[in-house]
Amino acid sequence: MSGTISILAFEPGWELHRFASYGLDALGHRGGSRRIVCWRQSGRVVCGDLESADSQALSDSGAVVAAWLNGRPDGQLVEGESSVAVADRPSGLLPEIARDVERALSTDRPHARLAESLSSYGSADAPSLTVLTSRGELVVWRSSVGLTPLVVGGYGFDMAIASSETSAIEMLDADVRRHLLPGEGVYASRRQVRLFSTGAAERARLCLFELLYTARHDSTVDGVSVYEFRRELGRRLGRYLDDPVDVVTGVPETALPYAVGLSQATGAPFELGFVGTLRRERSMMKEGVRERLIAVHLKLNPIRRVFEGKRVAVVDDSMVTGSTLKTVAQLLRYRVGARELHVLVASPKLAGTCPYGVVGLDPGSLISAHLDESDIERYLDVDSLAWLREEDVETVARGFCLRLCGACFGRSLLGGGE
Amino acid sequence: MRVLLVGSGGREHALAKLIVSSRNTVELYVLADYANPGLRREAEATGGRLLAVNTSDPPAVVKVAEALSPDITVVGPEEPQFHGVTDALRERGFAVFGASRACSEVERSKVFGRYLMWKHGIPGRLHFTSFRSLEEAEEFVRYAGDVVVKPARQFGGKGVRVVRDTKAFLSEAKQRVKSSSVLRTFEELDALGEEYKVLVEQRVEGVEYTAQVVTDGSYVLPLPLVQDYPHAFELDVGYETGGMGSISGPGHLLPFVNEEEYETTERIVKQVLEKLQEETGDRYTGAFAGQMMLTGLWGPTVIEFYSRFGDPELSCLVPRLESDFLELLDRAARGALAGAKLEVSESTVSIVKAIAPVGYPASKSEASGHPVIVDEVRIRELGCHLLYASVEEGVGGGIYTKGSRAFEVVCAAEDYERAYRLTEAAMGYISSLDGWPLYHRSDIGSGWLIEARRREAERVRAVYRSKQLRGTLGESFTVWMPGKGIVASPLLSPLR
Ligand SMILES: Nc1ncnc2c1ncn2[C@@H]1O[C@H](COP(=O)(O)OP(=O)(O)OP(=O)(O)O)[C@@H](O)[C@H]1O
């Protein structure tokens, strides 16, 4: 998964490398694996690592784009003649869209032309975009399908900032101004800022994984508090916990709000269960099995007294390969001595890969697509195991007025269909 | 009644429209710095004329007044007040609507208005400090923290830097920006020969609105509240401008300011007017306004004062004022405002949008000299008003931009949704003839932006109410210094 932060300064003298750097830090949890930053230098747009970039050049640029990419930049980064385009996900369409955008921007009514040329990608599977031009223009566009979020903020009279997440804008001491709707974009230069829209696609929706896993708890996505959404799903999990438990905990960090919700719904106390070592890593986003396990092992040292001799409910946001929950179960049962282990997953069973390439799921390793429930329960070695059902996500999504894409869960639309 | 209106822009066009709609038969003369075609036409339609003079030159204005002997002279902008035009006219015995030079100091000097508030303990005041010397100012901002840096005098609606500084990891970068902005401001004001050059003020956040009043010095008649939009660009980003639009209603309130806040605001404005007159020993006759912000610190808080009507704030009231406005101005000018009432359409709200050439406000030269055309008939058919602002008639009768906001459009309707659609439609009838792009803010008056303001107001309302209950309104910046105890505002002393 990836994330972007782009900044345009209306006034000179802003040390943009600092803002880019902290902006990227604020998006580090999104699980991108490669950081890049693009800026203007000698009449061109150049991209590179933040560490080796010349900080003076970044400030002089007046506008920068910084991003976490999925890995190899193919299909996510296009360096054109007078601009650079970054997409929210790998897409074969990117080179063509980037060319069209470049052309639109060379006219005298750039925002109007942009809207026109981007509208032709309304029905196609176009990614969302962030573009920086050698003239110092910045364009962000949320694709007509939506899927990943894009927000625009401002800092005083001095800067406009666009990002994948509200928390990145807040971390830069700026204010969130608008959650772009699917199809909405902003054209910004030092002389003009224009909101435009190519219209939302009929099947416009937000990726469920964004709310489930990718975004920070402290972000607001399309006007919905990520924390509240997670806690609400956690409350729904209460229906699937048949046995009494002494304590509810969640796999850190993502699953904590779900555990809070479950605790509130059942009355069983919520406890912190684990302490991590080193910095926070997103285990699911690691590419190899071994890397994933390393990340899991690093973040999960149990607080023994919370679990010893207890009946424990453990919540996680999703089950991909099952290896995290397997690790947790083994730890709690054998190392710590929990009496009972009930695992609750705050999303439905994953059924396949992401057709949009937003979430990098390997269909071969999705445990719930290959084993039945009782086998998974045996593999995890737990007393009970439950998933949320699609209907639950549907209900919660409706409650928040959201239309969600659940393609990887086998449901292309969850919630607010008119 | 013969009326002489001094001033050249959109606000004066709004004034002209309000004046000519009087019950009285009006003969309107306009004294303007440039040939604003809208003002010229308003004047000519009444049998009057537009006369081009330097409106900030008292002898020149007096000379015209003497030739015309108007029944009332209305001075729109602040610059003529600063230069003593109102006083010169009054000395010659003319009835004048407009603050005297001494009274207009409340707008001209940002130090004076704040000093008044502190001296008399008027609620809604912010901590500030001002500097004569560059060294002191530079040293101060090194430690100042979360502040706004401003020119110490009115500077044509520019030069303000709001530097929110609440994240230590970005503080150094911000400190450098503050320093360079202090230096720039200092040089600009030094060139004007001002005593105080730089003002540094506590930063606050919340929802802004403007409270305008008409006064004859003893009686104060409030106008409906208006919200003005200072950012140049959509989504409230980009440069500070004189205002890219405004909204007013329903009634005398705004969707995010309640009656109690309105009353508090009125009390603040009245107190300031009273103390201002005490301090200057001069009678305040004219328009006065508090540019306010609803903040968590105080609730209604003063950001700035105007010694005139706001622009484009007044424009917003053009379709909503039902009383005879000229009569009000006249009664104020004659010191007979007591008992006057203002009737405002209760069933409508209004939206103003300004349209400007690209280049405004950062590059006036780029934004100047573009021929523009307006389909006024279509705008009128929509029921909207068109106000001419920074445009002038060129040779051959063409209309050319002068670098600032070129036109304003005002539309009223029974709700914001309808008024919004009307203003957006009306904007479509204004274009340039040379292909130079014009821009306006499509977000002003939209449902989502009003909703965002409403939520922001609710956020700060919860904060100030809790401070009110605890009796700590206005208190901030309290720091415990070991050995010294609790110090209020260790950085910003109000009077130096
Ligand atoms: N103390 C403050 N805290 C936060 N924002 C502020 C503060 N002071 C000013 N601002 C912001 O800066 C804008 C302009 O400030 P101010 O009114 O002082 O400047 P000005 O140059 O006199 O403008 P104008 O003449 O158009 O009113 C305000 O509308 C407000 O948005």
Q: Closest approach of chain B CAs to the CA of A192, in angstroms?
A: 7
- Rounded to whole angstroms, how far apart are CA atoms B324 and B331? 11
Mean of pLDDT values over A343-364: 90
SS3 content of chain A, % helix, strand, coil (to 5): 35, 25, 40
Residue A249 and residue A167 in one domain: no
Q: Is B208 in the pocket of ligand 1 (CB under 6 A)?
A: yes
What Rg value do the Cα atoms of chain B yield, rounded?
Answer: 22
Q: Are B126 and B148 in contact (CB under 8 A)?
A: no
Instruction: Give the pLDDT score at A58.
Output: 93
Count H helices, E strands: chain B? 15, 27
Q: Write the pLDDT tens digit of every residue in B68-93.
A: 999 999 999 999 999 999 999 999 99
pLDDT at A363: 83
Considering the domain architecture, whether residues A11 and A57 belong to the same structural domain is answered as: yes
Nearest by Cα to B97 from B323, B324, B340, B288:
B288
Dist CA A322 CA A86 (whole Å): 33
Segment B102-143, tens digit of pLDDT: 999 999 999 999 999 999 999 999 999 899 999 999 988 888
- Residue having the nearest C-alpha atom to atom 16 of ligand 1: B304
Give the mutation candidate from A173, A184, A187, A225 for the B interface (greatest B CB count, under 10 A): A173
Residues A364 and A282 in one domain: yes
Q: Are A172 and A244 in the same domain? A: no
Percent of chain B whose predicted confidence (pLDDT) is above 70: 96
Report how far residue A84's alpha carbon sits from residue A38's, in angstroms, rounded to the nearest whole number: 8
pLDDT at A31: 82
Q: Which of B144, B47, B104 is nearest to B289 (CA)?
A: B104
* CA distances (Å), origin B126, targets B123, B179, B200, B304: 9, 21, 10, 10
Q: Is the pLDDT of residue A193 over 80?
A: yes
Q: Which helix (H) or strand (E) holds A197?
A: strand A193-197
- For residues B371 and B398, the answer to whether their CB atoms sit within 8 Å is yes
Q: How far is B402 from chain A (nearest CA, A)?
A: 17
Domain boundary among A161, A188, A203: A203
In this complex, do A18 and B173 lie within 8 Å of one another by their Cβ atoms?
yes
Q: Are residues A229 and A187 in the same domain?
A: no
B contact test, residue of A105, A107, A193 with most B CBs within 10 A: A193
Spatial separation of the C-alpha atoms in residues B29 and B4, rounded to whole Å:
5
Q: Which amino acid is at A47?
A: C
**Nearest residue to A131 via CA among A8, A22, A2, A221:** A8
The arrangement of strands across the sheet holding A193-197 comes to A77-79, A83-87, A129-133, A138-141, A184-188, A193-197
Q: Do A178 and B235 touch (CB under 8 A)?
A: yes
pLDDT of residue A298: 81
**pLDDT tens readout for residues B380-406:** 999 999 999 999 999 888 999 999 999
CA dist B132 and B198 (Å) reads: 7
Measuring from atom 12 of ligand 1, which residue has the nearest CA?
B160
Q: pLDDT by residue (tens digit) across B204-240?
A: 999 999 999 999 999 999 999 999 999 999 999 999 9
Residues A99 and A216 reside in one and the same domain: no
CB contact under 8 A, B235 and A192: no
Q: Rounded to the nearest 10 degrees, what angle do helices A110-119 and A94-105 cross at?
A: 150
The conformation of residue A335, written as its DSSP 8-state character, comes to I
Q: Are both A216 and A102 inside the same structural domain?
A: no
Mean pLDDT across chain A: 92
Report the distance separating Cα B344 and Cα B327, nearest Å.
15
Sequence-separated (6 or more) residues with CB below 8 Å from residue B167: A171, A172, A173
Specify whether the CB–CB gap between B139 and B316 falls below 8 A.
no
Comparing CB atoms, the residue among B170, B235, B358 nearest residue A195 is B235
What is residue A397's predicted lDDT score, i.e. its pLDDT? 96
Q: What is the DSSP string of B65-115?
A: HHHH--SEEEE-SHHHHHTTHHHHHHHTT--EES--HHHHHHHHBHHHHHH
- Give the bridge partners for A129, in sequence order: A87, A141
- Alpha-carbon distance A201 to A141, whole Å? 14
pLDDT band at B287 (very low <50, low <70, confident <90, very high): very high
Classify burial at B274, counting beta carbons within 10 Å of its beta carbon; exposed 0-12, middle 13-18, buried 19 or more: middle
| Least confident range of A47-61, B18-32, B47-61, B271-285 | A47-61
- B325-333 and B10-20 helices cross at what angle (nearest 10)? 100
Asked if the Cβ–Cβ distance from A157 to B162 is below 8 Å, we say yes
How far is B71 from B61, CA to CA, in rounded Å?
15
Question: Quick one: A242 and A294 in the same domain?
Answer: yes
**Residues with Cβ within 8 Å of residue A158, at least 6 apart in sequence:** A9, A10, A11, A14, B161, B162, B163, B177
Residues A216 and B350: their CA atoms lie apart, in Å, by 40
Using DSSP bridges, classify how beta strands B206-215 and B220-222 pair: parallel, antiparallel or unpaired: antiparallel
Domain with residue A314: its CATH number is 3.40.50.2020
Tokens of A135: 């003239």
Number of Cβ within 10 Å of residue A289's Cβ equals 12
Give CA–CA dist B233/B441, Å, rounded. 6
B146 lines ligand 1 (CB under 6 A): no
Instruction: Output the six-digit token pair for B405.
Output: 């906001």
Residue of B nearest to A156 (CA): B162
Ligand 1 close to Cβ of residue B151 (< 6 A):
no
Residue B162 Cβ < 6 Å to ligand 1: yes
- Are A178 and A235 contained in the same domain? no
Helix, strand, or coil (residue A219): coil
Average pLDDT over residues A54-71: 92
Among all residues of chain B, which has the CA nearest to that of A112? B437
pLDDT of residue B55 exceeding 70: yes
Residue A283 has pLDDT above 60, yes or no: no
% pLDDT > 70, chain A: 96
Asked if residue B25 lies in contact with residue B94, where contact means CB atoms within 8 angstroms, the answer is no
Q: What is the tally of structural domains in chain A? A: 2
Residue B323 Cα to ligand 1 midpoint, Å, equals 31
**Angle at alpha carbon of residue B346, lines to B340 and B352, rounded to 5°:** 95
pLDDT band per the 50, 70, 90 thresholds, residue B479: low
Is the same domain home to A118 and A198? yes
Q: Supply the ipTM of this predicted assembly.
A: 0.93
Mutate to test the pocket of ligand 1, among B154, B160, B288 (most ligand atoms within 8 A of CB): B160
Specify the pLDDT at position A418: 45
Q: State the pLDDT confidence band at B262, using cuts at 50, 70 and 90.
A: very high
Considering A175, A203, A231, which residue would you say is the last residue of a domain?
A203
Residues 6+ apart with CB under 8 A from A189: A8, A135, A136, A137, A138
- Cα angle B161, B165, B167; round to 5: 150
Q: Which residue of B has its CA nearest to A193?
A: B233
Cβ of B237 and A152 within 8 Å? yes
- For residue A44, what is the domain's CATH number? 3.60.20.10
Q: What is the 3-state secondary structure (H, E, C) of B105-127?
A: HHHHEHHHHHHHHHHCCCCCCCC
Measured CA to CA, the distance from residue A354 to residue A1 in angstroms comes to: 11
The answer to whether the CB atoms of A160 and B170 lie below 8 A apart is no
Partners of B366 on chain A (C-beta within 8 Å) are 191
Cα B435 versus chain centre, distance: 31
Residue nearest to atom 17 of ligand 1 (CA): B304
Q: Residue A32 — pLDDT band, cuts 50, 70, 90?
A: confident
Same domain, A192 and A233: no
The pLDDT score that the predictor gives to residue A253 is 86
Q: pLDDT tens digits for A139-192?
A: 999 999 999 999 999 999 999 999 999 999 999 999 999 999 999 999 999 999
For chain B, the straight-line distance linking the first and the last C-alpha, in angstroms and rounded, comes to 49
Whether B84 and chain A come into contact, CB under 8 Å, resolves to no
* Structure-token pair, residue B244: 């890219």
Atom of ligand 1 nearest to the CA of B203: 3
Under DSSP, is residue B346 helix (H, G, I), strand (E, B) or coil? coil
Per DSSP, the residues of B161-212 read EEE----HHHHHHHHHHHHHHHHHHHHHHHHTT-S--EEEEE---EEEEEEE
> Which one of B237, B431, B453, B456 makes the best mutation probe of the A interface by having the most chain A beta carbons within 10 Å?
B237
In terms of domains, do A171 and A213 share one? no
> What are chain B's domains?
2-101 (3.40.50.20), 127-203 (3.30.1490.20), 206-447 (3.30.470.20)
Q: CA of A18: which chain B residue's CA is closest?
A: B170
- B-proximal residues of A, 146-175, CB under 8 Å: 152, 154-160, 171-174
Question: Which of A177, A203, A229 finishes a domain?
Answer: A203
Q: Work out the pLDDT band at B495, boundaries 50, 70, 90.
A: very low
Banded pLDDT at A223 (limits 50, 70, 90)? very high
User: What is the model's pTM?
Assistant: 0.94
Average of per-residue pLDDT across B456-482:
87
Which structural domain, as residue segments, surrounds residue A69? 4-203
